[in-house]
Amino acid sequence: DLFCIDKSSSAELSEAINSMYNWYSNSACCYAFLSDLAPLSNLRHCRWFTRGWTLQELIAPQFIVFYDKDWVISGRKGRPSLMTPVHRNHLFATPDPGFERLLSGITGIPSAVLSESRDLSLRRQYSIAKIMSWAAHRRTTRLEDMAYCLLGLFNINMPLLYGEGEKAFIRLQEEIIKETTDLSLFAW
């Protein structure tokens, strides 16, 4: 998405951010390039796990292949929904529960969320506070993006208003509360 979105167009940016979760969840395969992961180094220290935008990139796709800085496969999450000749390779054909447990330990996201198909509704299975907690240790460059990067996790569409600062998160809460009676939302 970094190179595919015209950030100079506010309309395109808004549409893209409001659509991202669906793009990822409908993908056959996603690739995560961990540019700061050296071979045999600790995955836990990768910046990828501290960025706000990568939360939906981790949860939404059914299948992700993780690569280290040398483009060597470090692990994979899930199982491909579409078995192309590339995916038939034994590395891709079976789940990698050990790697999914590692991801769960790093992120605090239950393994079930990481391994299940994306047609599940997070809001029905987990409290709003629990889902928000998965983002608690993540950061974004712009303050508003901390709210915007959560839109897809809550199936919320709302206009982007860069410059509003913390009000973006309040607007997100207002949109979420229209869809739920879960008051754990206010713990955030």
pTM: 0.85
Q: How far apart are CA 187 and CA 129, in angstroms?
A: 7
Any domain includes 93: yes
Domain span including residue 28: 10-187
Nearest partner of 155 among 183, 128, 186, judged by Cα: 128
> Within 10 A of 127 (CB to CB), how many other CB atoms are there?
16
Any domain includes 4: no
Q: What is the pLDDT of residues 130-171, one digit of tens each?
A: 999 999 999 999 999 999 999 999 999 999 999 999 999 999
How much is the pLDDT for 83? Answer: 58
Tokens of 45: 């220290």
Q: How far apart are CA 109 and CA 178, in angstroms?
A: 25
Any domain includes 20: yes
Any domain includes 84: yes
Tokens of 166: 């913390």
The count of domains in the chain is 1
Q: What is the pLDDT of residues 35-48, one digit of tens each?
A: 999 876 789 999 99
Any domain includes 2: no
Any domain includes 116: yes
